[in-house]
Structure 1
Amino acid sequence: MAMKLRLARHGRKGVPFFWLMAADARCRRETGKEKLGTYDPCLSQGKAPKIVLNKERIQYWLSCGAQPTDRVRRILAEEGVLPKYTFRETPKKSSPGKKALERQKQG
């Protein structure tokens, strides 16, 4: 079974709160096998994000072959669970196409 470590969104509109879940990669976002921690970005208060992790269980799921999503990998790297990883800020597929570049040159 392909397992993922991913975020499940909770909270209300405009004030997100996330659970870090170990979930089957083929299931919906909100379902999961086990809750491994919480991530509160504190967008409404303007404070630093709050992160609470169960590091022992995260290491267990990583040893079982679970793959973290990009956002979860970044959170785990900040907390020291995973080694630092360099992320590309903008993937190539989001860059403008040939026609858009031509229009930018013209006008």
Structure 2
Amino acid sequence: MLMIRFQRIGRTNDPAFRIVVLEKERAAKAGSIVELLGTYNPRSKALTLNEEHVKEWIAKGAQPTDSIHNLLINKGVITGKKVNALPRRTPITSVEKDATINVVVEAEPEPAPVAQ
């Protein structure tokens, strides 16, 4: 499966990213990309993007990551709702907490009889 994702190219404390197409299983830093689609600098919000190629890859079945998806919506390349890239953790309810406590209490082993 192909993914459209960021590849970090910036220095320490100075992030800059390439927008690339690569296999999902490959690490972004591996360097074996299928195609370079553009660049993004989060500090200056500068975005250069080949919009036609992005649309072609999405039509071929490449899946953008959540951050890329939101960036493409802001740029107007694709339409739709934004995706929450960093979902919030749901707090543990009292029912779930009681269930975990009961499991722990039941799992305690009984003391072994002492031989006399």
TM-score (norm 2): 0.72
Q: Deviations over 1:67-106 (max 9, x none)?
A: 00000001100111110313347625x223237xx8xxxx
What amino acid maps onto 1:22 in structure 2?
V
**Counterparts of 2:23 and 2:3, CA distance in 1:** 6
User: Which stretches in structure 1 are left out of the alignment for 5+ residues?
Assistant: 103-107
List 4+ stretches of structure 1 deviating above 6 A.
none
Q: Which has the higher contact order (CA 8 A, sep 6+)?
A: 1
| Aligned residue in 2 for 1:4 | 3
Rg (Cα) greater in structure: 2
Alignment of 1:85-104 (within 5 A): 85-88=81-84, 91=87, 94-98=89-93
**Greater share of strand:** 1
Q: Alignment length, in residue pairs?
A: 93
Aligned-residue Cα RMSD (Å) equals: 1.9
Q: What is the DSSP-based 3-state SS (H/G/I as helix, E as strand, rest coil) of the residue aligned with 1:4?
A: strand
TM-score (norm 1): 0.77
**Counterparts of 2:84 and 2:3, CA distance in 1:** 21
User: Which stretches in structure 2 are left out of the alignment for 5+ residues?
Assistant: 98-116
Among candidates 40, 43, 55, match of residue 51 of structure 2: 55
